[in-house]
């Protein structure tokens, strides 16, 4: 089964020439994209490129007004996020909707609480399941009773991902999950994205950082002012090419040269200073 082996199959989600306007503003125009099981599709682009608009359409928050959105091959227009969720599409937003003072397990089951007879919460089951699911994703939380607010941003993202996997998501949409994180924590989140892919989910990763996208991505869509600038499978594009597309190529090269010459001059000045000091015998006492 694909869910176990993580091999790529038929697309879970497919956008064909999708467009969306907000009044006079064309937020998205003629964008096509495929999300296959066991694959990570990265959507890259600067601020205002249309990334959030794209995921809001997939997540059922906004409706597209051009093109076709297919889920499992069927054309759909979601009327609400609930409909998208029922179709197996789980979205993790950057500003996670968590209740900071509630325990991790409570947040894990928020809105989908497990109950026993008379509507009583089945706390032991929820605790245990939360711990097991997090462990299965490689997250070893000492205490699932600690308030989720005490976890780092990266850990919280990971809990949200594990939650989506547990509740049967087929497609996981992540809006800039690494944007607010340091290098190490971003690495942790990227590792869980790879875990979700291994479990057969189709992942849509929104980011403006090609260095986060490239190692985990199978396909890359680069948006610019609402339009598709490039759409490539990994074997068709190198990390440098992806970075150049994002940065507007020439501008970045220019900056690199500038920085090089600045630091080169600084290095020359330093070594010259060191020579003078050495010759004058004015070293530190």
Ligand X SMILES: Nc1ncnc2c1ncn2[C@@H]1O[C@H](COP(=O)(O)OP(=O)(O)O)[C@@H](O)[C@H]1O
Residue matched to tokens 């598709």: 228
157 scored as a contact of Mg ion (CB under 5 A):
no
Site for ligand X in 29-88 (CB under 6 A): 45, 47-53
Site for Mg ion in 47-86 (CB under 5 A): 51-52
**Rounded CA gap, 263 and 246, in Å?**
25
CB of 24 to ligand X, least distance (A): 9
CB of 51 to Mg ion, least distance (A): 5
Q: Nearer Cβ to Mg ion, position 88 or 217?
A: 217
Out of Mg ion, ligand X, none, what residue 187 binds, judged by CB under 5 to 8 A for its kind, is none
Alpha carbon distances (Å) from 108 to 130, 146, 195: 7, 12, 18
Out of Mg ion, ligand X, none, what residue 47 binds, judged by CB under 5 to 8 A for its kind, is ligand X
**Rounded CA gap, 58 and 42, in Å?**
14
Q: Is residue 239 a contact partner of residue 73, using CB atoms and an 8 Å limit?
A: no
Q: List, in order, residues 6 or more apart from 163 with CB less than 8 Å away.
A: 108, 133
Out of ligand X, Mg ion, none, what residue 53 binds, judged by CB under 5 to 8 A for its kind, is ligand X
**The tokens of 117 are what?**
């007879």
Q: Nearer Cβ to ligand X, position 21 or 129?
A: 21
CB of 217 to ligand X, least distance (A): 17
27 scored as a contact of ligand X (CB under 6 A):
yes
Whose CA is closest to 176, among 58, 232, 239, 92? 92
**Binding residues for ligand X (CB under 6 A):** 22, 25, 27, 45, 47-53
């Amino acid at each position: 089964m694909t869910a176990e082996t993580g091999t790529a199959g038929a697309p879970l989600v497919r956008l064909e020439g999708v467009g969306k306007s907000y009044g006079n503003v064309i937020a998205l125009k003629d964008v096509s994209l495929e999300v296959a099981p066991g694959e990570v599709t990265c959507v890259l682009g600067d601020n205002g490129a249309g990334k959030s608009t794209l995921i809001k359409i997939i997540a059922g928050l906004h409706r597209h007004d051009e093109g076709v959105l297919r889920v499992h091959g069927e054309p759909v227009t979601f009327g609400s996020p609930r409909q998208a969720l029922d179709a197996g599409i789980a979205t993790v937003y950057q500003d996670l909707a968590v209740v900071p003072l509630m325990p991790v397990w409570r947040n894990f089951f928020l809105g989908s609480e497990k109950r026993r007879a008379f509507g009583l919460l089945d706390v032991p089951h929820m605790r245990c399941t939360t711990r097991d699911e997090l462990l299965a994703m490689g997250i070893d939380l000492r205490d699932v009773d600690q308030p989720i607010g005490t976890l780092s941003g990266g850990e919280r993202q990971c809990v949200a991902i594990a939650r989506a996997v547990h509740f049967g998501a087929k497609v996981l949409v992540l809006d800039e999950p690494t944007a607010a994180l340091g290098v190490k924590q971003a690495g942790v989140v990227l590792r869980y994205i790879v875990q979700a892919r291994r479990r057969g989910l189709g992942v849509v990763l929104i980011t403006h950082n090609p260095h986060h996208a490239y190692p985990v991505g199978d396909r890359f869509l680069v948006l610019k002012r609402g339009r598709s600038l490039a759409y490539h499978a990994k074997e068709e594009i190198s990390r440098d090419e992806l970075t150049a597309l994002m940065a507007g190529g020439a501008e970045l090269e220019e900056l690199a040269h500038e920085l090089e010459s600045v630091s080169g001059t600084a290095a020359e000045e330093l070594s010259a200073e060191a020579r003078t000091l050495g010759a004058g015998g004015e070293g530190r006492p």
